[in-house]
Amino acid sequence: MLPAPPLTDHPPAAPAGHPPIGPEHRTALVDVNSFYVSCERAFDPKLAGIPVVVLSNNDGCVVARSDEVKRLGVDNGTPWFQLAARAKGWGMVAKSSNYELYGDLSSRVMELLGRHAAWQEVYSIDESFLGLDARRGAYVEQGRVIRAAVARHTGLPVCVGVARTKTLAKFANRIAKQNPHLGGVCDLDAMPAEHVDAIMTRVPVTGLWGIASRLGKRLNLMGIETVAQLRDADPVLIRDRFNVVVMRTVLELRGIPCIELEPVRPDKQQMIFSRSFSTPVVGAERMAQVMGLYAQQAAARLAKEHQVAKIMTVFASTSRFRDDVVSSIVSATVRMPNPTADPVLMSKAAIETIRARVVDGAPYAKAGVMLTGLEPAGAAPVFDEFLSVHEHRNIGALIGDVTTRFGTHAIGLGRAGLIRVPEWTMKRQRMSPRYTTDWDELATVHAR
DNA sequence: GAGGTACAG
DNA sequence: GGTTCTGTACCTC
């Protein structure tokens, strides 16, 4: 991969503030095709042209598929154990998810996209909404420049949909994906209107952003089956029978913007750290160990976002796919003495809260820590007297620094500091190296 | 405000 | 034997 280009090669980064709405602007939706698969391929040329899937945590089920896999008729969410036998015959390769790699490539892509837009909303790990300004050239041309820039600097393929609203930009992006002759860019207003109408008449409502299977079923019952039919439905009727969200979709399909571009990500309201185990966890002491670790991970994330939490919920449950064992779902909520991101306090609280509630003999399959009542760190002053000893000594920040410099496993409190990884840690048997974020796993380039 | 439903990626 | 994780908004009570 090429390094990020110097800033002088490009327009300046997207400005802060609210984007204007006007005839000289459009909304673009840019996303990476089969993002996780494309990340794996960017570092392993052997994966090109063959069916590739990326698996969820614990190598559980399919979360990303290459085009070859989509053509084989394999759905997202398919459990790997149902696929494994057939995979060999297909020549399919499965990779464990490697969020460190995807997160790093995502930042690079997002930064590049921001440089090519008047405004940017980073919408997900692989998508941005961009505000395009007509003064920077024809929208289709801007889309092509964006595609070329991302391909050159990261090796990742993106598609660009351009339209007057977010919903239509999403739709245009879909058209760009499904029609290779468009070269990955679709400006809805640059297409003949009857052509767009013909597509909208063919595509089912569930092809739209915000309309999934359940809403789709209910809409079908009213006789609304296609995008065109939803566009032409009565917005007020739709609001009354469904909700304002679906009504906004109707209006946006007509080119009336109802969903703002949000350049600034609002602070999180809640944070969850939850994992399924590779092997069940039994007993209060083992579960205490798990919770201590999970609470520290949650604390680290919280600190990274410069937030503190007032309320903690810990939960654990046995597998819902087994009826032959003691079944148990436990959850309990505690209020922290002060809003905090302190790993010592949080792991103590998590351990004490779960210990008393674990059911003896129940094989827990999954557990987690949920933090709510989040606020920005330092927003509310805290009496010095109320701070714990570790908060005074800033142990949390110290642990954070060590983790950043030496990795997640370099330091931990109590049993989280175990040298050996516990046996219930999630299974990631098919993981590729952290090519870009770990010195020991950097990609090697051979030249001759 | 809590808890359930629905959606997204 | 084995089926992800995280986050938000809306609706109902």
Three-state DSSP string of chain A: CCCCCCHHHCCCCCCCCCCCCCCCEEEEEEEECCHHHHHHHHHCHHHCCCCEEEECHHHCEEEEECHHHHHCCCCCCCEHHHHHHHHHHHCCEEEECCHHHHHHHHHHHHHHHHHCCCEEEEEECCEEEEEEEHHHCCHHHHHHHHHHHHHHHHCCCEEEEEECCHHHHHHHHHHHHHCHHHCCEEEHHHCCHHHHHHHHHHCEHHHCCCCCHHHHHHHHHCCCCEHHHHHCCCHHHHHHHCCHHHHHHHHHHCCCCCCCCCCCCCCCCCEEEEEEEEEEECCHHHHHHHHHHHHHHHHHHHHHCCEEEEEEEEEEEECCCCCCCCCCEEEEEEEEEEEECCHHHHHHHHHHHHHCCCCCCCCEEEEEEEEEEEEECCCCCCCHHHCCHHHHHCHHHHHHHHHHHHCCCCCCCHHHHCCCCCCCCCCCCCCCCCCCCCHHHCCCCCCC
Nearest residue to nucleotide C3, by CA–C1' distance, is A79
pLDDT of residue A244: 87
Instruction: For residue range A325-350, list pLDDT tens digits in order.
Output: 888 888 888 888 889 999 999 999 99
Residue A413 has a pLDDT of 60
Q: Which of residues 107-146 of A touch strand C (CB under 7 A)?
A: none
Q: In this predicted structure, what is the pLDDT of residue A241? A: 87
**Distance of A54 CA from B5 C1′ (whole Å):** 29
Q: Å from A269 (CA) to B3 (C1')? A: 17
Q: What distances in angstroms separate CA A193 from CA A99, A190, A207, one per listed residue?
A: 41, 9, 19
Nucleotides, chain C, CB distance < 7 Å: 1-11
Amino acid at A382: V
Residues contacting nucleic strand B by the 7 Å CB criterion are A 123-127, 170, 208-216
- Residue A405 class from Cβ within 10 Å (0-12 exposed, 13-18 middle, 19+ buried)? exposed
Nearest nucleotide to A374 (CA to C1') is C7
Question: Which pLDDT value is given to residue A4?
Answer: 40
pLDDT digits (tens, 9 = 90+) for A237-252: 998 888 888 999 999 9
Give me the amino acid identity at A342: D
Could you say which residues of chain A have pLDDT below 70?
1-21, 380-421, 438-440, 442-448
- pLDDT digit string, tens, across residues A84-139: 889 989 999 999 999 889 999 999 999 999 999 999 999 999 999 999 999 999 99
Burial of residue A135 (number of CB atoms within 10 Å: 0-12, 13-18, 19+): exposed
Closest nucleotide to A57's CA, by C1' atom?
C4
User: What's the Å distance between residue A16 CA and nucleotide C3 C1'?
Assistant: 42
Tens of pLDDT along A141-170? 999 999 999 999 999 999 999 999 999 999
Residue at minimal CA–C1' distance from C11? A243
Residues 178-237 of chain A within 7 A of strand C, judged by CB, are none
- The CA–C1' separation of A242 and C11, in angstroms, is 10
What is the pTM for the complete model shown? 0.87
CB A319 within 7 Å, strand C? yes
Protein-to-nucleotide distance from the CA of A448 to the C1' of C3, whole angstroms? 47
Strand C within 7 A of A426 CB = yes
CB A193 within 8 A of CB A167: no
Closest nt to residue A322, judged CA to C1': C1
Which nucleotide does the CA of A35 lie closest to, via C1'?
Answer: B9
CA distance A11 to A112: 10
Q: Which nucleotide is nearest to A77 (CA to C1')?
A: C3
- A84 Cβ nearer than 7 Å to chain C strand: yes
Q: Quickly give A384 CA vs B7 C1' distance in Å.
A: 43
CA distances for A354 relative to A290, A297, A425, angstroms:
10, 16, 19
Between CA A442 and C1' C9 the distance (Å) reads 41
